[in-house]
Every structure is written in C-alpha cells, then in structure tokens.
C-alpha cells in the first residue's frame, strides 16, 4: 500500500518546484509544530499513567520514554509493531506483564478512535458533496462506537468467560495455560476503565490530544501558506488519521501522503505541488522528532529486541 500511496501522492511531481515550495516554509511555525507534537506525547503518557493506576502507580517520565520507544518502533517496524515494543518497554521497569501493558495500549487506541468519532461528527457535515464519502466517515464512527460498547460489555463479563474456558481441554497444557493467561492479561488491560476512578481525566486527556493534533495541522497550514478553512483542516486531520490505520511501510510512508494530497487537491482544490509539500512537511513534523527522541530512549533503556523473546507474557 505504501508504494501505491507514494505513486498517487507524487505522480506528476515537479521536483524542483516541490523543493522550492518546501524551502519557503516558515521555520518558526514548523518548529512550533514539532514542539507541539512532542508535548502531545507527554499528554498521551499522562493519560496512560491514569489508565495504569489500577495496576500500578508509575511516574510520568518513564511512561513518556516508553511511549517514545513505541513511536520509534512504529518508525522502523511495519504493522505498528512499535506498540508491542512499547508494551515490553513499560514491563521492563514495572511489575506489569507485557500482555497487560499491551491491553492498556489497545484501550488507548480505542479511546483515540472515540475521539476520532467526535471529530467526524463535527467535520463530516462540512465536506463538499461529491468529493468525499460522508458514508465512509460515518461508518468508521459507527464501527468505533460499536467496539467501545463491546469493550464496556467485556469489562463486565470477561472474568466469567475466563472461569468458563479455563477448564477447556485446549487450555490444559502448559502452552495453553500460558496463552490463556496472556489473553486474560490483555483483556484486563483493555477493560481497565472499569477499575479506575479517573475516567473523567482520561476523557479530558483524550479530547485534549485531538485539540493538539488539530492545532498542529493549523500550524503546518500557516507554515506552508495554504489557504484552508477551519473545517478543511479538520477533514485533513481525519483523513490522515484514517490513513495510518492502513497496513503500510514503517512510518506510514505513502498512505499518509496519499490521504493528505487527495483531500487537499480533490476536495479543496489546492495546487498539486503545494499539496505535496504540505504532505511531506506534516509527515516529517510528526515523524522525525518522535523517531529521534524515541531512539534515544530506546538506546538508554534496558529493553532490547532480543528481550521480546525472553520476557514472559
């Protein structure tokens, strides 16, 4: 998908004109967007800290480091495997198992999607007719809400489910018991909201993250000099967010760029080279600072790739 995305995004590219357009970007606004993206990781780490309180009280800085390690992993590994690396990272300095940590990360992503549903509700009605499928956006919203409701139901019933299946023959072997234990840990992580007293703050941080992401798009629009309405910036954010869920090369290369270029050129009639420059810049701002900082935390941390095989589930 990355190759297809890159072909679509940069077809008909005038390389010299693209470089010239990028060179005219306002560096102050570009730097501000980078700082904002790093700050958003701190907000994400704080939300994760609140989610983890029922399991263990952990300070913010180590969780910030683990979150950065996850971004580093997503930047160099395919299929968002950085999330697995992030789970092992936090397990390396806490009593949590990697599977429990991974469960809370899944919960985080579900919360992100719930925030995306709110964004879709706000911005989808503003899309010009015939340019982007409102039905697709609303379908994503409906599916996400269904998953969230299912998680709430699971939180109330998965312990009973565990008691029922623990005696199944498939789980009587040592490997079967280990698989069941890991699965149960993951479910405990996914359903952590049922045990927290900080639901309100978790929701606040989720909404705040989306405000930060929207502001980051606004800043990049300012940096590139593109004329976009407030609603258009919301649609760009929604579209690029959906693009990173598509299986692709590490760092969402191609799919992210294609989504940005499509929305800007087809929906909002932005000139192709400007749209391509915008796609390159907004991807770089959200990718390289987190990759570099994540690499530093990865190198400084105790976790190594070989630990993924040695660590218990």
pLDDT of residue 307: 54
Low-confidence ranges of the chain (pLDDT < 50): 305
pLDDT of residue 156: 56
Tell me how far apart the alpha carbons of residues 166 and 184 are, in angstroms, rounded to a whole number. Answer: 10
pLDDT of residue 300: 84
pLDDT of residue 299: 87
pLDDT of residue 290: 95
pLDDT of residue 291: 95
pLDDT of residue 161: 59
Tell me how far apart the alpha carbons of residues 311 and 313 are, in angstroms, rounded to a whole number. Answer: 7
What is the tens place of the pLDDT at every residue in 68-100? 999 999 998 887 888 989 998 898 888 888 888
Of 293, 260, 292, 253, the C-alpha closest to 276 is 260
Query: What is the DSSP-derived secondary structure letter of residue 48?
Result: H
Residue with tokens 């495997």: 81
């Amino acid at each position: 998908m990355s190759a297809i995305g890159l072909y679509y995004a940069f077809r008909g590219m005038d390389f010299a004109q693209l470089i010239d357009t990028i060179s005219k970007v306002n560096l102050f606004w570009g730097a501000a967007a980078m700082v904002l993206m790093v700050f958003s990781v701190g907000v994400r780490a704080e939300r994760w800290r609140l989610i983890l309180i029922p399991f263990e009280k952990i300070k913010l800085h180590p969780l910030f480091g683990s979150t950065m390690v996850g971004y580093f992993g997503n930047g160099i590994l395919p299929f968002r495997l950085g999330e697995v690396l992030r789970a092992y990272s936090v397990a390396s300095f806490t009593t949590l198992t990697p599977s429990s940590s991974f469960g809370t990360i899944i919960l985080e992503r579900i919360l992100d999607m719930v925030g995306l549903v709110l964004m879709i509700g706000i911005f989808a009605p503003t899309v010009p007719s015939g340019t982007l499928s409102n039905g697709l956006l609303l379908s994503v919203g409906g599916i996400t809400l269904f998953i969230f409701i299912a998680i709430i139901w699971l939180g109330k019933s998965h312990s009973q489910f565990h008691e029922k299946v623990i005696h199944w023959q498939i789980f009587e072997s040592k490997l079967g018991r280990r698989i069941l234990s890991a699965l149960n840990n993951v479910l405990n992580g996914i359903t952590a909201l049922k045990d927290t007293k900080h639901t309100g703050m978790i929701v606040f941080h989720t909404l705040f993250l989306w405000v930060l992401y929207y502001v980051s798009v606004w800043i990049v629009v300012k940096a590139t000099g593109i004329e976009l309405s407030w609603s258009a910036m919301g649609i760009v954010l929604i579209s690029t967010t959906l693009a990173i869920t598509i299986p692709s090369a590490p760092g969402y290369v191609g799919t992210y760029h294609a989504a940005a270029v499509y929305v800007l050129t087809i929906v909002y009639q932005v000139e192709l080279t400007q749209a391509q420059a915008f796609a390159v810049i907004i991807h770089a701002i959200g990718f390289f600072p987190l990759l570099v900082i994540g690499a530093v935390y990865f190198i400084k941390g105790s976790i190594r790739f070989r630990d993924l095989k040695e660590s218990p589930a």
